[in-house]
Amino acid sequence: MESAKINPSTTQWYVLYTSAQAEKQVNIRLCEKGIETWLPIHRSPRVWSDRVKIVDIPLFRSYIFVKCPLHVLYTLTMVYGVSRIVMYDGKPAILYQHDIDAIKEFLQLAEKKEIVIGDDVEVLSGPMKNVSGKVRKIGNKMIMLYIEQMGVVMHVPVSQVSHANRLR
């Protein structure tokens, strides 16, 4: 992000700061107004007492990117859930297209990272919750893990494991 000379009639990528956990709702409201937006989302496992679910979470909490002319940008602060425009050096911060492309590329690479044999994974729920192991075999529904600290091999549902470093 940087501050630059802004031509008010050209569209640029800007950053809006939203209320807590309002990114998705703000995105919907801005799209309904015809504003080009981008809300980078990543998938992450969330653990409840009875299950593990993969949920879509904003990559940057409380931030959303918009592409619009400068005069339109200032009107967006009136949209419910938008707190303010992110500023840099006293002017609206501009994100260049190559920055947006880099974030998109990162998300694509992260999405493709699947669990493979030899990966260190962590059990997300059940009696072995938070135990780490090395993947020995992968089936359609179950993963065979070697738990080194216990010297045992165990089978765990695929949906209940995640890369060990992903949760930290």
Give 52-104 pLDDT, tens digit per residue. Answer: 677 889 999 999 999 999 999 999 999 999 999 999 999 999 999 999 999 99
Query: 113 by DSSP, 3-state: which?
Result: coil
Give 21-45 pLDDT, tens digit per residue. Answer: 999 999 999 999 999 999 999 877 7
Integer Cα distance of 39 and 27 in angstroms? 7
Amino acid at position 101, single letter: D
Q: Model pTM?
A: 0.68
Query: 101 by DSSP, 3-state: which?
Result: helix
The pair of three-digit structure tokens given for residue 59, joined into one six-digit string = 């990559």
Domains and their CATH numbers in the chain: 12-112 (3.30.70.940), 120-163 (2.30.30.30)
Integer Cα distance of 39 and 57 in angstroms? 10
Confidence check: pLDDT of 166 > 60:
no
Integer Cα distance of 43 and 31 in angstroms? 22
